[in-house]
Amino acid sequence: MLSPPNGSGSRRELLASVTAISLAAGAHAAAARSYSGALPFRTYSADPPRPVLPGAWLFFTQDEAVAVEAMVDRLIPADDLSVGGKEAGCAVFIDRQLAGPYGNSSRLYTRGPFAQGLPTQGYQGEANPAQRYRAGLAAIDSWLKREKNRPFAALPAEEQDAFLTGLDKNEITLPQGGAGFFNLLLQNTMEGFFSDPVYGGNRGMASWRMLGFPGTRYDYRDWVSRHNQRYPQPPVSIMGAAEWSPRAGAAR
């Protein structure tokens, strides 16, 4: 136990002494180690992402999936810059999200009291995203069959656009509000279009290639200040690039 020396600088001298002792002890304990032949850690050991695999719908019924694929294709239509929302896998992304923790709001506080929030606060209701999609798609299908005598996917493109615009402006009445469901769908569609492909959307990194976004490359500092210049390397997913994996039979 150190006793502080007398004098006006006693506290300063005490802190300096303790710091010096601590640094000396730390330098002695933290001896350098060398590794060769293998990494000293296991990749993806903390919380590995699970790639979305092609297959059956996990949340949507077949009719719901057909409707959502048609909707995301009108929200992000294909053009000469990129594929559309359906081909980019936006509906698959939404399906997998609704089938997981996001869909049932397992990581959010979902108990009352419930009140109408301000526009800046977002959705404040009791229903989770999975419930909102199930109810919203059913209401849309019911409205269209009553007013148009056919489902959304069977409408011409201009009528699909007019219907989505009506939802956005809250001109089409749904039990939970047209604009509320439209905003949820639009947000999830954009997330699927721009997210990492590991989650099912952004197939082939289509949106990243369109933007020139490098993805999760660990270092592209040489290009940060090169404004209005397209990054020359292809984007990389968080799962890495195929050429980074050791080749079969290669020396280790």
CB 176 within 8 A of CB 193: no
Interhelix angle 157-168/178-194, nearest 10 degrees = 110
Considering its fold, how many domains does the chain have in total? Answer: 1
Q: List all residues 6 or more positions away from 88 whose beta carbon is below 8 Å from its beta carbon.
A: 76, 82, 192, 193, 201, 202, 203, 206, 207
CB 193 within 8 A of CB 212: no
The dihedral through the CA atoms of 162, 57, 186, 236 has a sign that is negative
Which amino acid belongs to residue 93? Answer: F
For residue 252, the model assigns a pLDDT of 41
For residue 243, the model assigns a pLDDT of 63
**What is the rounded distance in angstroms from the CA atom of residue 192 to the CA atom of residue 205?**
11
* Residue-number span of the structural domain to which 72 is assigned: 62-107+117-211
For residue 204, the model assigns a pLDDT of 92
On whether residue 102 sits in a domain, the answer given is yes
Place of tokens 């990194």: 205
On whether residue 183 sits in a domain, the answer given is yes
For residue 249, the model assigns a pLDDT of 45
For residue 231, the model assigns a pLDDT of 86
For residue 248, the model assigns a pLDDT of 45
Q: List all residues 6 or more positions away from 64 whose beta carbon is below 8 Å from its beta carbon.
A: 57, 133, 134, 137
For residue 52, the model assigns a pLDDT of 84
Residues of the chain with pLDDT under 50: 1-3, 248-252
On whether residue 137 sits in a domain, the answer given is yes
On whether residue 16 sits in a domain, the answer given is no
The dihedral through the CA atoms of 120, 126, 128, 132 has a sign that is negative
Q: What is the pLDDT of residues 91-126, one digit of tens each?
A: 999 999 999 999 998 888 788 788 877 878 778 888
The token duo for 45 is 């050991």
For residue 251, the model assigns a pLDDT of 45
Which amino acid belongs to residue 34? Answer: S
